[in-house]
Structure 1
Amino acid sequence: MNDTPELRRVIVGVDGSDSSRYALEWSANQAVLRGLGIRIVTAVWPLVAEGPFGEVVESTDAAAPSSREQDARALLDYARDWVLRIFPELDVEERLAAARPADALLEEAHKPEAAAVVIGSRGLGGLATAFVGSVGVELAARSPVPLVVLPKKHESAHGAKGRIIVGVDGSEPSRRALHFGFRQAHEVGAELVAVCAWQPMAAFASAMGPVPPEAFDDGVVEAAARRTAEDELRGPRAEYPGVIVDVRAVRAHPVVALLEEATPADLIVVGSRGRGGFTGLLLGSVSQSVLHGAHGPVAIVH
């Protein structure tokens, strides 16, 4: 009996678009830095089965499924060969799924060896479809491991090492995002920037009722935001003492603070829902807005 634990892997969805190619290269680079393997996944599913009339409409092109499957297998082989030319030491697996794209990636995400799921933000209607579409939203809402989204245009230079930008607000999802960010920073040797955004209390006073006078002092509000960040950082700093940390208490909306801090080379990490979020929502407004506005990779952590 073989008791050797299975190699942990980054799961990456590909569909032949430039966006999914960036996702593949980023995934491979991260896997090499972290001592992981990757699993390249694409899906073939009957398009006519989707929508309200899927059950009563039959395909008129009997050859279409087999043709799509051949194209998908050729794509997987090409992706594998391409990434191994850049990272010959990488352990690569391929997986062709006969399922909806979101279901295919979610099935892989639930396997014990899955470390993260990576997709492109703009695809060709397949696995790495536009994040505003159903595939990306469903993955962000249901993936048990962090989901990383690469933008359509991303300069993912081989060996490039950006910073880890983490949004901190004291919520539980934010706390898990912070731990993921520290682990990522530790494994790849990156600097971590903890961003705790704050806004003047005067902007919310009319909706909050009586507010103590000191709450209108911007210095007091900023100091409270910084304390929140420092309190949240105490545990991860002790666990990863070698990680260099820069704390930023920024007077801005959280989305603006994160997007203005990050460069295309940096990884932004946010919780799926922040403080004050509704548990029934698929994804918080901050995480959605960051995904739409980012020029570099974004990780969503539950």
Structure 2
Amino acid sequence: MNGTAEARRVIVGVDGSDSSRYALEWSANEAQLRGLGLHIVTAVEAGESDGPFGGLIASYSEAEESPQVKDAQALLDYAAGWIGRLYPEVDARTRLILRRPVDALLEVAGEPGAAAIVVGSRGRGSLASAFAGSVGVELAAHAPIPVVVLPKKHEAVRGARARIVVGVDGSESGMRAAEFAFAQADTRGIDLIAVCAWQPITAFAMTMGPLPAEVFDEESIATSARETLEAAIADLRARYPRVRVDAREVRAHPVVALLETATPADLIVVGSRGRGGFGGLLLGSVSQSVLHGAHGPVAVVH
């Protein structure tokens, strides 16, 4: 492994839940495939004491002896040992951070060499259960690197052939998502499905004022979607000639198109904000809905 590869790492948040273990295994496999290291992170929120400096006292003096911190360290030791047995060639390091779990992962994500963050979709108990549910959404909204969220139930995907499913809409975020998806498909040697969804103009559009007749022509809308899709992936096809691409323009809402195309074995890749997103929103409605509705892993790319 060269110096550049050693400096870059996949970050994974763990809390001992089923989806957390799946996230850990997925992250280690990703690190192995890409020649990266692995940074296993867990977090414990500092306790509160009386007085204006109580939190600091609990954080730095009492925290090391607290049952929560001891449990967290034991979890990290177990996780590192497990990955060492499954992926002995992966350089795995651990880190316990006394912060809110989302803030802990964002802290590590902002450090040099961070390649991606991986978390489970559901946590457990009191240890670091905030690596769950809405945490994936919050991370995807704020992290400067791709965020991958893994589902709780993953047993059903064993033995199934995985693919990459990426949503394409011509936006800058969508273009970066497509590039990430092509790179994943190339590294893993699996097929890629590029989806561009479109919907017909409905009656409510009349409230916008007079519209040209062609916007009501579904064939024209479908043709525009195909052109958007092909234009978005043309350069990527040339850069990744080994990737087999199935380009699909689909008459459906983007969320429906992606969720119905993907199986639990597939990695869905979306941009953080699509072409129709509002600039003030940190995470678009499509990416949020896909994160909540997917039965397999989802990557959100800024």
Query: Quick check: 1:263 aligned with 2:263?
Result: yes
Amino acid at match of 1:13: G
Residue 90 of structure 1: CA displacement? 1.9
Change (3 A) 1:75 1:54: farther
- Of 111, 124, 130 in structure 1, the residue corresponding to residue 132 of structure 2 is 130
Residue 65 of structure 1: CA displacement? 5.7
Q: Superposition pairs for residues 215-230 of structure 1, below 5 Å?
A: 215-230=215-230
Amino acid at match of 1:129: F
Q: Superposition pairs for residues 141-290 of structure 1, below 5 Å?
A: 141-155=141-155, 162-203=162-203, 205-290=205-290
TM-score when scaled to structure 1?
0.89
Q: Over aligned residue pairs, what C-alpha RMSD do you find?
A: 2.4
TM-score when scaled to structure 2?
0.89
Q: Following the alignment from structure 1 to structure 2, what is the Cα–Cα distance between the partners of residues 103 and 54?
A: 24
Query: Quick check: 1:25 aligned with 2:39?
Result: no
- The aligned counterpart of 1:97 is 97
Residue 97 of structure 1: CA displacement? 1.2
Q: Following the alignment from structure 1 to structure 2, what is the Cα–Cα distance between the partners of residues 113 and 175?
A: 22
- The aligned counterpart of 1:116 is 116
Q: Following the alignment from structure 1 to structure 2, what is the Cα–Cα distance between the partners of residues 55 and 256?
A: 50
Q: Following the alignment from structure 1 to structure 2, what is the Cα–Cα distance between the partners of residues 298 and 245?
A: 19
Q: Following the alignment from structure 2 to structure 1, what is the Cα–Cα distance between the partners of residues 151 and 130?
A: 10
The question of whether the paired residues in 1 share the 8 Å contact of 2:63 and 2:69 is answered with: no
Amino acid at match of 2:85: R
Change (3 A) 1:194 1:269: same
Residue 219 of structure 1: CA displacement? 1.5
The question of whether the paired residues in 1 share the 8 Å contact of 2:186 and 2:240 is answered with: yes
The question of whether the paired residues in 1 share the 8 Å contact of 2:46 and 2:63 is answered with: no
Change (3 A) 1:299 1:55: farther
Change (3 A) 1:78 1:99: same
- The aligned counterpart of 2:14 is 14
Q: Following the alignment from structure 1 to structure 2, what is the Cα–Cα distance between the partners of residues 169 and 301?
A: 14
Runs of 5+ unmatched residues, structure 1: none
Q: Following the alignment from structure 2 to structure 1, what is the Cα–Cα distance between the partners of residues 296 and 40?
A: 21
Residue 207 of structure 1: CA displacement? 3.7
Residue 264 of structure 1: CA displacement? 0.7
- Give the % identical residues: 63
What SS does the corresponding residue of 1:42 show, helix, strand or coil?
strand
The question of whether the paired residues in 2 share the 8 Å contact of 1:118 and 1:148 is answered with: yes
Q: Following the alignment from structure 1 to structure 2, what is the Cα–Cα distance between the partners of residues 286 and 65?
A: 44
The question of whether the paired residues in 1 share the 8 Å contact of 2:267 and 2:298 is answered with: yes
Change (3 A) 1:63 1:38: closer
Residue 184 of structure 1: CA displacement? 1.0
Q: Which moved more, 1:252-261 or 1:208-217?
A: 208-217
- The aligned counterpart of 1:42 is 42
Q: Following the alignment from structure 1 to structure 2, what is the Cα–Cα distance between the partners of residues 301 and 285?
A: 14
Residue 15 of structure 1: CA displacement? 0.6
Post-superposition CA distance 1:81-102 (Å, at most 9, x none): 1222222222211111122211
Q: Following the alignment from structure 1 to structure 2, what is the Cα–Cα distance between the partners of residues 66 and 290?
A: 38
Residue 14 of structure 1: CA displacement? 0.2
Change (3 A) 1:203 1:154: farther
Q: Following the alignment from structure 1 to structure 2, what is the Cα–Cα distance between the partners of residues 159 and 185?
A: 18
Runs of 5+ unmatched residues, structure 2: none
Q: Which has the higher helix share?
A: 2
Amino acid at match of 2:285: S
Residue 29 of structure 1: CA displacement? 1.5
User: How many residues of Structure 1 are paired with residues of Structure 2 in the alignment?
Assistant: 293
Change (3 A) 1:64 1:32: closer
Q: Following the alignment from structure 1 to structure 2, what is the Cα–Cα distance between the partners of residues 38 and 150?
A: 17
Q: Which moved more, 1:63-72 or 1:139-148?
A: 63-72
Amino acid at match of 2:78: Y
